[in-house]
């Protein structure tokens, strides 16, 4: 799998998971570490009061549908190295 951040709205299958998740955010901090993505279970989306699922790029088994990418997504990709540095510092 290529090493890039997928756009918000991308639907992914996570390794060993029975359901798919839709990506709803990046660089989310939880449980004492920083994860690449936050997601919501498909087809329900994020339910108020429910925990947001956090996962890393390496946890993705398959991309079911890639979300829309715009100029702001391209800007985020330009900052990808900085996001990786932040994640690395926070997780060590």
pLDDT range class, residue 18, cuts 50, 70, 90:
very high
| pLDDT tens digit sequence for 33-78 | 989 999 999 888 777 777 789 999 999 999 999 998 878 777 777 7
Whether 3 shows a pLDDT value over 70: the answer reads no
Contacts 24+ apart (CB under 8 A), 28-32: 28/52, 28/54, 29/90, 30/54
pLDDT of 1 strictly over 50: no
What's the whole-number average pLDDT of the chain?
Answer: 85
> Looking at the whole model, is its pTM more than 0.85?
no
Domain regions of the chain by residue span: 11-90
Which pLDDT does position 30 carry in this prediction?
Answer: 82
Conformational region of residue 4, where left means phi above 0, alpha means psi within -120 to 50, and beta covers everything else: beta
């Amino acid at each position: 799998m290529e090493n890039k951040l997928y756009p918000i709205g991308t639907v992914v299958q996570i390794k060993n998971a029975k359901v798919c998740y839709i990506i709803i955010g990046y660089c989310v901090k939880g449980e004492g570490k920083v994860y690449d993505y936050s997601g919501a279970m498909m087809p329900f989306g994020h339910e108020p009061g429910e925990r947001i699922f956090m996962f890393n790029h390496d946890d993705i088994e398959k991309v079911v549908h890639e979300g829309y990418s715009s100029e702001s997504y391209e800007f985020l990709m330009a900052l990808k190295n900085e996001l990786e540095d932040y994640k690395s510092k926070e997780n060590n």
